[in-house]
Amino acid sequence: MTEDSTDLFDDLFARRVVPVLVPMPAPKPYSYAVPEGMAVEPGSIVQVPLGPRQVLGVVWDGIDDGSVDPKKLKAITRAFDCPPLAKDMRTFLDWVATYTVSPPGLVARMALRAPAAFDPEPMVEGLRLTDMRPERDDIGARTGNCDRRQRVYLDALRARPCRGHLVQRHRRADGARCV
């Protein structure tokens, strides 16, 4: 009876386990469970619990050797929406660790130095020229009598709409105000 009851609970804890290289002086990657619905592959940048804190890590090549009890495994907290480290880069990190006789986690730390780089890219506002014109007291804006620099700016905007930061740089360079 006891043998049958333990088999029932083994299926409950059957989760996918992946090796994650954390930026610590460990000789090999740690094993972490992948939560249901999370897709990770070798090279994926993830956030994992390590002691009382959360650290960045890389899902490493290989399979779990099963040396850790599945009930003791911690789950990956977050998978970042960024391209995974390429196989060549992971091979290079392994080579550097071997060549310099350094722990692989410390070598991987060099590749993970900018955690803000893994956040999604912020939206950038853009401008598009339309036929709508604002009501202004500026006589030049209402009558279309802009100076030469302002006309160049408007012609360039008509030819190719550009992003807000490019327009701001252009406006600071020539002082155009007639939009």
Query: Phi and psi dihedrals of 19, rounded to 5?
Result: -80, 135
> Residue 120's closest CA among 81, 165, 78?
81
Q: Are strands 45-50 and 78-79 parallel, antiparallel or unpaired?
A: antiparallel
* Residue ranges of the chain with per-residue pLDDT less than 50: 1-2, 5-6, 8-12, 137, 139, 141-142, 165, 167-174, 176-179
Q: What's the whole-model pTM score?
A: 0.57
pLDDT of residue 158: 72
Instruction: Show the domains of the chain with their CATH numbers.
Output: 2-118 (3.40.1440.60), 125-179 (no CATH)
CA dist 41 and 86 (Å) reads 11
pLDDT of residue 11: 47
Query: Phi and psi dihedrals of 89, rounded to 5?
Result: -65, -40
